[in-house]
Amino acid sequence: MFNDGFEEHSCVHCVKKCDVFKALTESELELMYRSRYETFYRQGEVIAKQGSPISHLISISEGLVKLVLETSGEPDIILTIERPVFLVTGPGVFVDNRYHFSVIALTPIHACYIDVHYLHGFIETNPEFAKRFYRSVGESTINLYNRIRSLNQKNMGGRISEAILYLHHRIFESNPFELPLTRQELAEFTGMTKESVSRILKEFKEEGILDVDDHTVHILNMDRLENIARKG
């Protein structure tokens, strides 16, 4: 399955291009292709480490990743979970050239590395590219604003509901789906303890909102879940 889209051996015909790269011309893509690296990661491996320099853009073309804010002593915070095709950049690219979060593989990953040198070049020469890049930064900022509001103002039921709905709508788009997260990670995603995660999920199951068996989640009462997420 990894062959799909790579058989042309060029970025020009690759079907796993992120939205930002779709704005590039053929010659720009050819240029990029000649210096890119392909990498595979196993589940749990660190793809980018918080604090380390940003030498390349990382385009995740297969697999799921989590973006983790690491704190000293306190539990980690999962900022977001992303699926392909996702371009890992980071707020530090034009600031201090460091990662401000770690990127960790939730599943086996296929990724392409593109030297940040190209980012700087394309932004100067290709306005549509610049616009798309800025939009992707803006989208992730808006997402984070929503998450701050959620974590600060919603109760546990609301936060879990939002997490489940996010995974359903934005990641899997299927109804029974396999949770790629442990209870601990679900806790880090929702700002609660793993014990509370267990308890709330059990309550949802008892009330017939979800059927959660091990890592399989089946949403039974979507209206109810959306309602709890909204008013939480």
Q: Does 183 bind DNA (CB under 7 A)?
A: yes
Rounded to a whole number of angstroms, the minimum distance from the CB of residue 192 to DNA is 4
* Residue type at position 218: H
| Least distance CB 201 / DNA (angstroms) | 6
Enumerate residues 6+ apart whose C-beta is below 8 A from 222: none
Q: How far is the CB of 211 from DNA (least distance, A)?
A: 12
Distances (CA, A) of 87 to 172, 175, 187: 18, 26, 25
Q: Interface mask (CB under 7 A) for DNA, residues 113-152, using x and -?
A: ----------------------------------------
Nearer to DNA, 43 or 55 (CB): 43
Q: Measuring CA to CA, which residue among 157, 201, 206, 204 is closest to residue 181?
A: 201
Nearest approach in angstroms of CB 202 to DNA is 4
How far apart CA 107 and CA 65 sit, in angstroms, is 7
Sign of CA pseudo-dihedral 158, 160, 164, 170? positive
Sole window of 15-23, 32-40, 81-89, 191-199 interacting with DNA (rule: CB under 7 A): 191-199
- Residue numbers of the site for DNA (CB under 7 A)? 154-157, 182-184, 191-199, 201-202, 214
